[in-house]
């Protein structure tokens, strides 16, 4: 099987799984306990915190572990607006966990505004400027799109946001960006940044939120005071440790040149399939997500035919795949007939050129079978 849906989730690195196993079996203690086992568990958590902090170039004290990025994003949106004063601005391309949360805040009476996207799916400075005003208290713009892999220039956007509303908090969903592009939270000028373990070879059920030490935001979950009183609940020690290990493994395996070469091979191959169009081909991107549309096909059928031939590819956000249409591609202005055939390939640092060549031929055959009515 060739797995090319790494934007949906990744297999767990063996070293991360082994580290988690060791916690389950040997260091299973409650990290809040003050006897040696508990102290050892707490030490493991703090070692992982240092690793994640080093990847983001921040102080370990600024990292809070959460159950997933959905939680981290909900925390940022629910608690990032100081004293609930001012308006909230989010990009129209945000993942459902930001978008739906923002919609819920809007229904509760807050002034929530949505920034339109350009045809590459990016938030432009002009669009942000037109949506914000001096009363904006919170801005949330994703770093990398989970639909297209396109990178938003969050450094410029955060700088601009703060010239319009000096005290606004700038949050970015970094799930598809973590370890895949420049994540330096200081250089990017972000106040909050979310990430998820299962996109980089850690298990599902672990995420983190960076919160700038300069911010004074409310805790998200009240209880026993874990995570410095900000996010109570007994820590997922195994998940946290695995996130630390996966971060190190991913960083060691990631090779920007290889990622670029793989993307080129993939794009050139897809272009050779008749009536296939690469989505946002020329916008800055991580190289790890390639979205394309095969005209006159239905994405779910092509996806199934590919899976039957042993090639797993995605189609848009896995979390939203039960919903019809595609909110983000629509916001980019894609016509329905292009959205109908839209698929997404998620590469990993370990993807090989042979896997890519096989995937291209499988996609070609599946598309031709479907167009020729030769299925079933």
**175 vs 306 by CB, closer to ligand PLP:** 175
Least distance in angstroms from the C-beta of 144 to ligand PLP:
7
The DSSP secondary-structure symbol of 285 reads: B
Least distance in angstroms from the C-beta of 253 to ligand PLP:
20
Asked if 102 is part of the footprint of ligand PLP (rule: CB under 6 A), the reply reads no
Asked if 173 is part of the footprint of ligand PLP (rule: CB under 6 A), the reply reads yes
**168 vs 175 by CB, closer to ligand PLP:** 175
Token pair of 13, please? 């690195």
Least distance in angstroms from the C-beta of 142 to ligand PLP:
6
Candidate residues 69, 288, 343, 359; the one interacting with ligand PLP per rule CB under 6 A: 69
Asked if 176 is part of the footprint of ligand PLP (rule: CB under 6 A), the reply reads yes
What is d(CA 235, CA 41) in angstroms, rounded to the nearest whole number?
Answer: 10
Asked if 68 is part of the footprint of ligand PLP (rule: CB under 6 A), the reply reads yes
Strand pairing class (2-4; 342-346): unpaired
Three-class SS of residue 224? Answer: coil
DSSP one-letter string for 91-143 = ETT--HHHHHHHHHHHHTT--EEEEPP-TTSPPPHHHHHHH--TTEEEEE--S
Instruction: Say whether 97 is catalytic.
Output: no
Residue among 301, 263, 297 nearest 280 (CA): 263
The DSSP secondary-structure symbol of 232 reads: -
Asked if 323 is part of the footprint of ligand PLP (rule: CB under 6 A), the reply reads no
List Cβ neighbours of 295 (8 Å cut-off, separation of 6 or more): 275, 276, 277, 337, 338, 341
Looking only at residues 275 through 314 of this chain, which bind ligand PLP when binding is defined by CB under 6 A?
A: none
Contact 326, 340 (CB under 8 A): no
Least distance in angstroms from the C-beta of 15 to ligand PLP:
20
Candidate residues 117, 175, 243, 259; the one interacting with ligand PLP per rule CB under 6 A: 175
Asked if 123 is part of the footprint of ligand PLP (rule: CB under 6 A), the reply reads no
Token pair of 189, please? 């000028």
Candidate residues 27, 97, 168, 311; the one interacting with ligand PLP per rule CB under 6 A: 97
Applying CB under 6 A, which residues contact ligand PLP?
Answer: 68-70, 95, 97, 142, 146, 173, 175-176, 196, 207, 317, 319
- Residues marked active site are found at 319
């Amino acid at each position: 099987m060739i797995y090319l849906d790494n934007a949906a989730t990744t297999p767990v690195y063996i070293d991360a799984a082994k580290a988690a196993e060791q916690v389950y079996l040997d260091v299973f203690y409650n990290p809040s306990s003050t006897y040696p086992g508990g102290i050892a568990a707490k030490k493991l958590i703090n070692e992982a915190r240092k690793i994640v902090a080093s990847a983001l170039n921040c102080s370990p004290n600024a990292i809070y572990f959460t159950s997933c990025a959905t939680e981290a994003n909900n925390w940022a949106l629910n608690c990032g607006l100081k004293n609930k004063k001012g308006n909230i601005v989010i990009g129209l391309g945000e993942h459902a966990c930001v978008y739906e949360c923002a919609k819920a805040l809007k229904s509760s009476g807050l002034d929530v505004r949505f920034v339109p996207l350009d045809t590459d799916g990016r938030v432009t400075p002009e669009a942000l400027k037109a949506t914000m005003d001096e009363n904006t208290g919170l801005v949330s713009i994703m770093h990398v799109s989970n639909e297209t892999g396109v990178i938003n220039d969050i450094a410029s956007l955060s700088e601009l946001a703060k010239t319009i509303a000096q005290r606004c908090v700038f949050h970015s969903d970094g799930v598809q960006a973590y370890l895949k592009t420049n994540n330096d939270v200081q250089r990017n000028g972000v106040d909050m940044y979310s990430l998820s373990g299962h996109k980089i070879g850690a298990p599902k059920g672990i995420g983190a939120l960076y919160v700038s030490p300069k911010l004074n935001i409310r805790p998200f979950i009240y209880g026993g005071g874990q995570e410095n009183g900000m996010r109570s609940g007994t820590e997922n020690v195994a998940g946290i440790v695995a996130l630390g290990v996966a971060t190190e493994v991913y960083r060691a395996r990631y090779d920007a040149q290889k990622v670029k070469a793989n993307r080129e091979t993939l794009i050139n191959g897809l272009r050779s399939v008749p009536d296939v169009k690469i989505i946002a081909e020329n916008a800055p991107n991580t190289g790890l997500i390639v979205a394309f549309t095969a005209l006159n096909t239905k994405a779910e059928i092509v996806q199934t035919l590919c899976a039957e031939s042993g090639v797993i590819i995605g189609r848009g956000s896995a979390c939203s795949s039960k919903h019809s249409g595609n909110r983000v591609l629509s916001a980019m202005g894609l016509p329905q007939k292009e959205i109908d055939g839209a698929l997404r390939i998620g590469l990993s640092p370990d993807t090989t050129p042979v896997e890519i060549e096989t995937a291209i031929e499988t996609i070609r055959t599946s598309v031709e079978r479907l167009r020729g009515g030769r299925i079933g």
